[in-house]
Chain A
Amino acid sequence: MSMHELLEQLKIWRAAQAEREGVPLFRILSNQALFDIASVRPQTKKELLMIKGIKGKKCERYGTALLALMWENPERSLFSVTAPEPVGEETENKTLTVSAYLVLLNRHLVSCAARIRGEVSSADIRDNYLFFGVRDKNGEALINCFMWRRDYLVSGIELEEGMEIVVEGVPEIYARSGRLSFRARSIELVGEGALKQAYDKLKAKLEHEGLFAPERKRPIPEFPQHIGVITSRTGAVIHDFLNNIGRFGFHISLLDTRVEGARAVPELIHALRQFRTHDHKLDTLVLIRGGGSLESLVAFNSEALVREIVRFPVPVICGIGHDKDVPLVSLACDRAASTPTAVTKMLNESWERASARLTLAERDLINSYGGMLLHRRTVIDRTTRVLEGCFAAILNRFGDARRRMRESTVELAQHHRINGVRLTERTSELYARAGRSFAEVREIIMRHERALVAASPARQLRLGYSILIRDGVVIRSIRQIATGDRLDARVADGIIRTTVSGVE
């Protein structure tokens, strides 16, 4: 058998083993490890341990099976020349070792995977695994089961004697004991009553832990864009979702999972981990499923799934249809709806609101600026009015002044007139008075004139008196003259020249 053929065989074995354990392929062995095994062909566990990726635990678990494959495909080993007795496909003619035979049997038993319903007869729970028995109700048949603790935890059931369950898995003969055990990959509760009880119990527990508390809820990001969707590819749910999500340039990545049945929980958890570990730059995760009864929604009441959702790094929206009891994942997620359409509304919300906000902002902006301009105009108007008022006041004062001036003029004119009249009156009075005065004066003058005329020297002269004058001086005394002086004697009608002959 060529190396390539051996590699194919190893891959088939790995797929079967993964199926048996209910884990992804890489959890069994990496591609590189398979390749190395096929090229090196280890013949003993010691040699197997030299392959990278095979440590003690894996060697313990898969060593026998892997080595059996080597023996079935004998070719030269890089490690050893003493290959054990070859084991071929035609087993009828060949003698096999017990382990090789059990490997062969177990390979055939893989095809006997089944779902078995029965009552728990016993349960022995160890650190990493558990044993339990399942029997028919009438007690007539029993099968021993083995289960890894990890799978047991995912199932979210606490086994109790008498509990009615469905186990799903693959039968296998355990080489050490030679006993057949049913390797259970999942356990489910049977019957609404039991489910309801389990639901209530787990709900109370998680509630007590605060996993449903409103303060734990994270807001859906504004304008979500990168959306991870976990749901079944088939069915109306994903179509409803895609038809109703707005055309806002969303990037939607879908991971197809089973949403019902025994494989649902591990697949859902696996999908969540895949989204979490890979760099998908999600801003929101959506988990959707159509409506159903409590029984069909068992997966969404799984404790393991709830915990996975709670620790998911971005907000999770659950859209799971349900009857009375809200699925526990819907209680634990950040936003919950009961239809895929309702979930799209949550995602569209901020985008649609943005449109309204824009319109509002636009209106506010126009109004605000309009208000600003209006305010400015009002200020201008008011200032104008104030200025107009001032001018008007000034003009008013001019008017006043003019009026007063006119009034004053009129008054003045009146004064003038009055004064004129008075003046005239006074003048005539004055005249009258003056006239009287003149008459008096004339009288006085006449009197004086008369008196004067009476006293005039000319009159005296005419009466016979004369005036002696010497050199123009009137002689009033004899002392003024001497003998011989020439004197003029004035008489009324002329002058008589004389000489003084003597003085006595």
Chain B
Amino acid sequence: MKRILRKRYMAKTNLSESLKRLGEIVAWFDNQDEVDVEKGLEKVREGAVLIKQSRTRLAEVENEFQELKKEMEETETDED
């Protein structure tokens, strides 16, 4: 359960952000005139973590389905 919750949390907060950040990292490499291998390695490490997390989130997660009660029925039953 906890795991599912963490995944759900990640979906909301991280996936979009992670992809954006990954894009930034790739762009960083593209824009480097000076080659800084140390910094590059840092970026690669960060990217690897993001990729791993995102892949975990993209792994199959069951959907939740609920049928809502119509309001008129709710009004009818809520005090009974």
Contact = CB atoms under 8 A, between A and B. Distances in A.
Given A18-B72, A254-B66, A372 B51 contact: no
B41 interface: yes
A223 B16 contact: yes
A247 B65 CA distance: 12
- Give the bracket for the number of chain A residues in contact with chain B: 35 or more
B68 A369 contact: no
A251 B63 CA distance: 6
Interface in B1-46: 7-8, 11-12, 15-16, 19, 22-23, 25-26, 29-30, 32, 35, 37, 40-41, 43-44
Contacts of B11: 223, 225, 248-249
A13 to B, nearest CB: 13
B76 A25 contact: yes
A366 B7 CA distance: 26
A368 interface: yes
Interface stretch (A49-57, A193-201, A335-343, A354-362): A354-362
Given A31-B75, A249-B8, A250-B63, A372 B35 contact: yes
Contacts, number: 126
B64 A31 contact: no
B37 A274 contact: no
A26 interface: yes
Interface of A: 11, 18, 24-26, 30-31, 35, 222-223, 225, 233, 242, 245, 247-256, 270-271, 274, 280, 351, 354-355, 357-358, 361-362, 364-366, 368-369, 371-373, 375-376, 379
B29 A372 contact: yes
A358 B19 contact: yes
Interface of B: 7-8, 11-12, 15-16, 19, 22-23, 25-26, 29-30, 32, 35, 37, 40-41, 43-44, 47-48, 51, 54-55, 58, 60-68, 70-72, 75-76, 78-79
B32 A255 contact: no
B68 A274 contact: yes
Given A18-B72, A24-B75, A270-B70, A365 B58 contact: no
Given A253-B68, A256-B67, 10 more contacts: A24-B71, A31-B75, A233-B67, A249-B11, A270-B72, A280-B68, A355-B58, A358-B22, A365-B47, A373-B37
Contacts of B29: 364-365, 368-369, 371-372
